[in-house]
Amino acid sequence: MTSLTSTRARIDWSGIAFAVLLTLVIIGPLVVVATWAFTEVWRYPNIIPQKFGFRFWGQTLGRPDVWNALMLSLKLSTVVTLLSALICLPAAYAFARMKFPGRDILFFSFLAGHAFPKFGLLVAIAAIFLQLNLIGTFWGVVLIQLVGTLMFMIWIPVAAFQAVDRRMEEAARDVGASPLRVFWSITLPQAGPTIFAAVLLSFVGTFYETEGAWLIGAPGIRTMPVLMISYINNQMVIQYGAVLSVLLWVPSFIALMFARRVIGGGAFARGFGG
């Protein structure tokens, strides 16, 4: 009895402190930005805006460059993710399941792009792309963003394929399934949720990728984040940037909600070898 009441009465103060701190740090800026997006007049020293409204939404969404950038970003993310899946998933399966000469070096080379300071690497690549006439082109940006997805799309699926119990695959062979059928009916569904997480991460990551898109894509290719940066840098009106940033929450929010439903918490952790 006493132990029951004592556990009920004990409050986890350090846990609450962490939760409050995290809330302040994460939610705080989001609230400020969201507030700005719906503000028409907000002058110092008022704590809340004098006038709320949708005027700047209308203005921002009325601009053709915003719509072009949004469509471009969606197209870019889709193409990059599909290409990445096409290249990386078979490679990940090979890394996870097959033995071949140079396997470890190849595996490492896939990740080497992340071992250097990214901007230096981008500038070097930009120099090469300049000679290949890829600067300012759609496919130039696709290529540079592909590099960025390699880590997610190799590492996580490799871990996912390795985590599939070999006995499960053998049991499927035993009941009469061909190797291809085993892959389709057993290996892929077992690794599926984790691989889906990787695809989602790479889509969202590509959507928000800025440095590569800016360095390689400018001036012809302007993705949503690049457009947002130019708004923040060049416009005196804060609201344009705020409205765009609220808009940019939408894909990641949808992705996260979707991910939670489809995957459940364990798959991400498993993908990272947890």
Residue in 167, 233, 236, 265 binding another protein, rule: CB under 8 A = 167
Lookup: tokens for 73: 């970003």
Residue in 170, 220, 253, 254 binding another protein, rule: CB under 8 A = 170
Q: How far is the CB of 264 from another protein (least distance, A)?
A: 13
- Cβ nearer to another protein, comparing 72 with 182: 182
For residue 173, state whether it binds another protein (rule: CB under 8 A): yes
Residue in 92, 160, 186, 227 binding another protein, rule: CB under 8 A = 186
Burial class of residue 115 (count of CB atoms within 10 Å of its CB; 0-12, 13-18, 19+): exposed
CB 161 within 8 A of CB 189: no
Q: Cite the DSSP H helix spans in the chain.
A: 2-9, 13-37, 55-61, 64-97, 103-112, 118-131, 138-150, 156-163, 166-174, 179-182, 188-208, 211-217, 224-234, 238-262, 265-271
Segment interacting with another protein, rule: CB under 8 A, options 67-75, 93-101, 102-110, 166-174: 166-174
For residue 264, state whether it binds another protein (rule: CB under 8 A): no
Q: Which helix (H) or strand (E) holds 42?
A: none
Residue in 50, 78, 109, 178 binding another protein, rule: CB under 8 A = 178
* Residues near another protein (CB under 8 A): 165, 167-168, 170-178, 181, 185-186, 189-190, 192
